[in-house]
Amino acid sequence: MVSFPQGRALLGLSIALLSAAGAARAAEGSAAPAMDLAIEEVVVTARQYNAAAQLTDERIMDDAVSDLLGADSISRVGDSNVAIALQRVPGLSLVNGQFVYVRGLGERYSQTTVNGASVPSVDLSRNVVPLDLFPSFIVDSLSVQKSYSADRQASFGGGAIDIRTKRIPDGFVGGLQLGSAFNDANDDEVITYAGGGQDNEGQDDGTRALSPRLQEALIQYQGNVSVQNILSRLRGTTQPNATLADAQAVNRQLGSYLYRDLSVLEKDTPFDRNIRGYLGNSIFLTDDFELGALAAGGYSNQWRETTRLNRSFAFPEQRTDERLEATQQVNMTGNAAVGFRYLDEHEVSATAIYLRNTEDDTYQRTFFNENRQRESGNGFQDVGFRFEERDVLITQYQGNHSIGYNTKQVLKDRFGDLLPASLIDFIPEGLEYNWFYSDSKAETSIPSEVNISLQGATDENFQIPNPQVVQSSEAANFRFTELDDDVLNHGWEVKAPFYTKRLTVEVSGGYNHRRQDRVYVQSQFNLGPLDVASLSTLRGPLGEVFSTANVNSSANNFVFNRVGSNNQSYIAATMTDAYFGQFDLTLDDTWRIAAGLRWEKYRQVGLDYDPYGFSATTPVVTTDPERLASNVFQDDDLYPSLSLTYMRPFWADTFQLRGTYSETVVRPDLREITDASYIDPLTEDLVFGNSGVIPATLTNYDLRAEWFWNSGDSLTVSMFYKDIENPIEFFETTASDTTVAREIVNAASAEVYGVEFEVLKDLGSVADFLSPFFLQGNITLQDSEIVAGGRADAPTNDTRELTNASPWIVNMIVGYDSMDARHSATIAYNAFDDRLFVAGRNGAPDGFEQTRHSINATYFFYPTDNLTVQLKASNLLDDPISIEREGVETLNEKVGRTFSLSVQWELY
C-alpha cells in the first residue's frame, strides 16, 4: 500500500504536468495584492443600533456593491459562527448549516478568503470552505462583495466573502467567557460507543486508526487480501504446503486487526460546555513606533441528537428510512497576531489561526425498500459510527505602507543628503504599497467510519426489537479516509493617487499567485460471516458479535476483504497567476467611475490515485499519455470590471446610485475534475466526477441605490442580473434502485436575477416611547432558470430553477437598548421560500425543501461595565427541515431548539 506521505510526494507529478501545460511558477520572493486592512475595533457599550451602523463609511467608499457585518453586530445577535451570521446579509441563504448561497448561486459560485487570502477546504467533497468552521469570536468584520472588481480572483460568481479576523488592539484588552447550553431535541440519554481516550479533545488516540499490522499485511499481499491470493502468496513464499484452511485463518486474523469495539451504548446527555478568552495589548516603544499583540482561544463540546424520516415518493407508506443520530462535536480555536505600526503610515503584522472541528457520530437506521417493504413484517437496520477530525492552520504575513507627510519628513531628515527634497516631494502623497503572504494547510482525517448491516422481524411500530447481523462477507464495512489540502497565496498591490481641483484619481495595479494541491486517500474493507456455528452469534451487542474470538473462529467463517475499484482516491492541483490594473476617478464629488482589467492564467490537473497500485497493470497513477493529457486543463483570459456611481444628496444626507458590469469565471472543484466517485457525506448520494467539465463563464450586472442619513438610518435597493454559460451543476444519473447517483456536468445556460431591499431605522424618530428600539432587515426577491442541455442524463425538466435558489428570503431584527445601558435584547427572524433540493430524472418530480421560519432571541445584562450575562434561545419556532415531491413529504428532520447561558468578563 502506498502511504499517505508518499501520496503527497506524487503531487510533484501534478505540478510537473502543470508545468508541461505551460505553467510557470512565480518567483519565490514575489510580494502581492494588499489584503484588506483590519477595521479598527470599536467597543460599543450603548446601542446595538450603533453596532449595525458603524461600517457604513467603508461601504460608502467601496467602488463595488458590498455588504458588511461588524463584530458587535454579530455578537449582539448571538451568532456563534460565520455561517450563521452571513445568512443575515441580503441575498444570502444558509444551506446544510455550513455553506452560504449568494443570490441563488451555490457555494461553488462564491469564494471565501481570510484577511484577503485564499484558504484550503476541509470538506471531503467540496473545494469551498465550510463557514461554520470559523467561530464568530475571532472575527473583526465580514465583507461580502457582490460585484466583481479586478483586484479579486476572477473565479467570482455570486460573491466574495472575506473573513477579517481580529488584529492588533489599540490598547490593553482581555476577556474570559464561560457558557453552557442544551437542545430540546436531545433525549435524556444519547447513543454512543466506547471510542478513544482523547475524544473530548477532538482527536483520535489511535484506537480507531488502521492497524500498523494491517498496513504491513496490505503491502505483503499487494493490496489483495482475498483468501485465494493469501493462499497463493503463502505457497509461493514461506509455506509451500499451505492449505485453504491456513489461508482462511490468516484472512480472519487480518480482519481481527480492525477496531471492533462497536457496541451501541447509552449515556446521560451532557450540557454543552464552552470557554473562550483573549488577551492583547499595544505599547509605544518610541513616539513613532507601536508594537502590539493579541491572542485568543476557545473550546466547545456539545452533543446533538436528530431524528430523520425519509420516504420513497412512489411508495411513501411502504418504503421508509428512519434514522436516529447522536453527534458529539468538539471545536478548538486559536488565534494570534503580532505586529507593529510606524508613523501611523506603515504596518506589518503576522497572524496565525488554528481551527479544529471534530464530529463523532453514532446512528441507528431502520429502513424498508423494494426487497422488503413494511407490509412484509421484516426490515433492515444499519448501525454506523463515524469519527471525523478537521484541522486548519493558517499562517499569514502582511504589510501596508503609505507615503504620507510623516514618511516624507523622515526621508528628508535622514536621507536628505542622498535624496533631493524635490524628488521626495515629487512622490505622490498617499502612495501605497501593500503585500501579503499566506500559507494554509487543511487536514481531514476519518480514522474509522463503520457501517454494520442487520435485519429482523418488525413490531407494530415497524421497529426491529431483536435484530441480527446479516450472514454476509459484507456485513460490516470499514472506511478510512485522509485528506490533505494546501493553499499558497501571495501578492502585492501599488496605489497612486492624483488630485486636481475637480478630479481625484487613483491608479493601482498588482500581482497575485495562488497554488492549491490536494491529496485524497480512501481505503475500504468488508468483514462478515458467511456461516456461523449458531445464529445466536449474530445477535446481541455488536462488540460481542465481532469479538476477536468470534472473528477468528473457523466455525463462523468470517471473511475479510478490501473493497472498491480504487477510483475513490485522487491527487489534484491548480496554479493561478494574475496581474491586474485599475483606475478610480471622481469628478466634482458627484461622478465616480472605476474600471479594471485582470489577466489570469489558470492551470489544473486531476488524476485518479490508487494507493494499492503495485504493478504496471494497476499503477499508482496512470502513465497513459492520452489519459494524462485529458486530465490537464489550462486557460488564460482577461476579466474586465466597470463601475459608475452618481453621488449627490437626494432625500437623504448621502445618496449613491451605482451600476456595475463585469465578466468572470467559475471553475470546477478539484475533486470534480477527476473520474473518482465518492459518497457525498451531506446527501449520502453516490457522486461521479467528470474530467470533461469546463469552467462556467458569467456576465454580471448590478444596480444599487443607497440612502444614508446622518442619524445612522439607511435604505438600500439593489438589482442584479447574471448570465451564465456552461453552468456547473449536479444532475441525477443511472444507479441501482437503492442508490441515488449524481454526476457533475456542464448545463447549457443559466440566468439569475432579482432585487434586494435593506433598511436600518431608529424607531425613536417614529415615536418617543420607541426610542430604545431599532429595526434592521432585508428582503430578497429573485428568480433563476437553468437549461440542462444535452449533457444531462434524462432530467425530468430540461428547464428549471437552480438548486437551493429560494424565490424570496427575509431577515428582520428588532433591537432594544435600555436608556441606562444595562440591558439590551434582539429578536431575529429569518425565513426562505421553497427551494429546489433535488431535480428529478426520467419523469420523477423535483424535490423542494419547504419554507422554513426561524426566530432567535438574545438578551444581554450588563451589571457592571466589565461583566456581561447573555441568554439566548435559538430556533424558537422549531420548524423541521422538510422536503416534498408533488405534495409527498420525502424527508422530515427535527433539529430542535437551543437555549444557552454565558457570562463574560472583560477588561479594557
**Phi and psi at residue 234, in whole multiples of 5°?**
-60, -45
Residue 652: helix, strand or coil by DSSP? strand
The yes-or-no verdict on residue 26 having pLDDT over 70 is no
The pLDDT score that the predictor gives to residue 691 is 75
CA distance 813 to 776: 5
8 A C-beta contact, residue 656 and residue 705: yes
CA distance 693 to 572: 15
Strand partners for 816: 773, 825
The yes-or-no verdict on residue 173 having pLDDT over 90 is yes
The pLDDT score that the predictor gives to residue 418 is 86
Residues above pLDDT 90, as percent of the chain: 72
The pLDDT score that the predictor gives to residue 96 is 81
- Sheet with 728-733, side-by-side order of all strands: 677-679, 686-688, 741-746, 728-733
**Per-residue exposure over 556-583, b if at least 16 CB sit within 10 Å of its own CB, e if not:** bbbbbbbebebbbbbbbbbbbbbebebe
- For residue 748, give the DSSP letter: S
The pLDDT score that the predictor gives to residue 415 is 87
3-state secondary structure 159-188: EEEEEEECCCCCCCEEEEEEEEEEECCCCC
At residue 15 the predicted structure's pLDDT band, cuts being 50, 70 and 90, is very low
Strand partners for 85: none
CA distance 706 to 645: 11
The yes-or-no verdict on residue 539 having pLDDT over 60 is yes
What's the whole-number average pLDDT of the chain? 89
The yes-or-no verdict on residue 337 having pLDDT over 50 is yes
CA distances, 98 to each of 84, 130, 310, 396 (Å): 8, 5, 22, 24
The yes-or-no verdict on residue 689 having pLDDT over 80 is no
For residue 830, how many other CB atoms are within 10 A of its CB? 20
Which residue in 604, 720, 624 sits closest to 672, CA to CA? 604
Mean pLDDT of 268-284: 96
Which residue in 157, 138, 139, 137 sits closest to 147, CA to CA? 157
Mean pLDDT of 572-599: 96
The pLDDT score that the predictor gives to residue 791 is 86
Q: Which amino acid is at 731?
A: F
CA distance 411 to 430: 15
Q: Which amino acid is at 128?
A: V
Residue 51: helix, strand or coil by DSSP? helix
Strands 159-165 and 110-114: parallel
Contacts of 212 (CB under 8 A, 6+ apart): none
Contacts of 895 (CB under 8 A, 6+ apart): 185, 306, 875, 880, 881
3-state secondary structure 378-408: EEEEEEEEEEEEEEEEEEEEEEEEEECHHHH
CA distance 353 to 394: 5
The pLDDT score that the predictor gives to residue 908 is 79
The yes-or-no verdict on residue 508 having pLDDT over 90 is yes
- Cell representation of residue 53: 451602523
Mean pLDDT of 866-885: 96
- Cell representation of residue 16: 510537473
The pLDDT score that the predictor gives to residue 190 is 96
8 A C-beta contact, residue 606 and residue 572: yes
Residues above pLDDT 70, as percent of the chain: 92
Which residue in 481, 646, 649, 638 sits closest to 570, CA to CA? 481
Which residue in 434, 467, 463, 465 sits closest to 452, CA to CA? 467
The yes-or-no verdict on residue 724 having pLDDT over 50 is yes
Q: pLDDT tens-digit profile of 383-431?
A: 999 999 999 999 999 999 999 999 999 998 888 888 888 888 889 899 9
What DSSP string runs through 524-536?
Answer: EEEEEES--S-GG
CA distance 640 to 110: 18
The pLDDT score that the predictor gives to residue 13 is 40
At residue 73 the predicted structure's pLDDT band, cuts being 50, 70 and 90, is confident
CA distance 119 to 514: 10
For residue 629, how many other CB atoms are within 10 A of its CB? 11
8 A C-beta contact, residue 876 and residue 897: yes
CA distance 97 to 854: 13
Residue 39: helix, strand or coil by DSSP? coil
- For residue 374, give the DSSP letter: G
At residue 98 the predicted structure's pLDDT band, cuts being 50, 70 and 90, is confident
- For residue 264, give the DSSP letter: -
- Cell representation of residue 76: 449582539
The pLDDT score that the predictor gives to residue 320 is 96
Strand partners for 190: 267
Which residue in 4, 126, 17, 23 sits closest to 622, CA to CA? 17
Top pLDDT among 563 and 260 is at 260
Across 41-45, 640-644, 702-706, least confident range: 41-45
CA distance 125 to 569: 12
Torsion of CA 563, 567, 571, 572, to 10 degrees: -150
The yes-or-no verdict on residue 32 having pLDDT over 50 is no
CA distance 188 to 645: 59
* Residue 422 burial (10 A CB sphere; 0-12, 13-18, 19+): exposed
8 A C-beta contact, residue 355 and residue 298: no
- Cell representation of residue 354: 488554528
At residue 676 the predicted structure's pLDDT band, cuts being 50, 70 and 90, is low
CA distance 221 to 229: 7
The yes-or-no verdict on residue 22 having pLDDT over 70 is no
- Residues present in the chain in total: 908
CA distance 48 to 67: 18
Mean pLDDT of 212-227: 93
The residue whose grid cell reads 457570562 is 903
CA distance 906 to 280: 12
CA distance 512 to 34: 10
For residue 876, how many other CB atoms are within 10 A of its CB? 16
At residue 347 the predicted structure's pLDDT band, cuts being 50, 70 and 90, is very high
8 A C-beta contact, residue 634 and residue 579: no
Top pLDDT among 96 and 21 is at 96
8 A C-beta contact, residue 553 and residue 38: no
CA distance 335 to 169: 14
Q: pLDDT tens-digit profile of 787-843?
A: 999 888 889 999 999 988 999 999 999 999 999 989 999 999 999 999 999 888 889
Strand partners for 891: 310, 883
The yes-or-no verdict on residue 634 having pLDDT over 60 is yes
8 A C-beta contact, residue 701 and residue 720: yes
Q: Is 219 left (phi over 0), alpha (psi -120 to 50) or beta?
A: alpha
At residue 216 the predicted structure's pLDDT band, cuts being 50, 70 and 90, is very high
∠ CA 402-407-409, nearest 5°, is: 155
What DSSP string runs through 752-791?
Answer: EEEEEEEEEEEGGGT-GGGTTEEEEEEEEEEEEEEE--TT
Across 44-58, 327-341, 558-572, least confident range: 44-58
At residue 44 the predicted structure's pLDDT band, cuts being 50, 70 and 90, is very low
Contacts of 887 (CB under 8 A, 6+ apart): none
The pLDDT score that the predictor gives to residue 367 is 96
Q: What is the pTM of this model?
A: 0.91
Residue 33: helix, strand or coil by DSSP? coil
The yes-or-no verdict on residue 898 having pLDDT over 80 is yes
CA 492 to the chain's CA centroid: 27
At residue 473 the predicted structure's pLDDT band, cuts being 50, 70 and 90, is very high
For residue 20, how many other CB atoms are within 10 A of its CB? 14
Q: Which amino acid is at 59?
A: R
CA distance 647 to 659: 12
Across 267-276, 680-689, 800-809, least confident range: 680-689
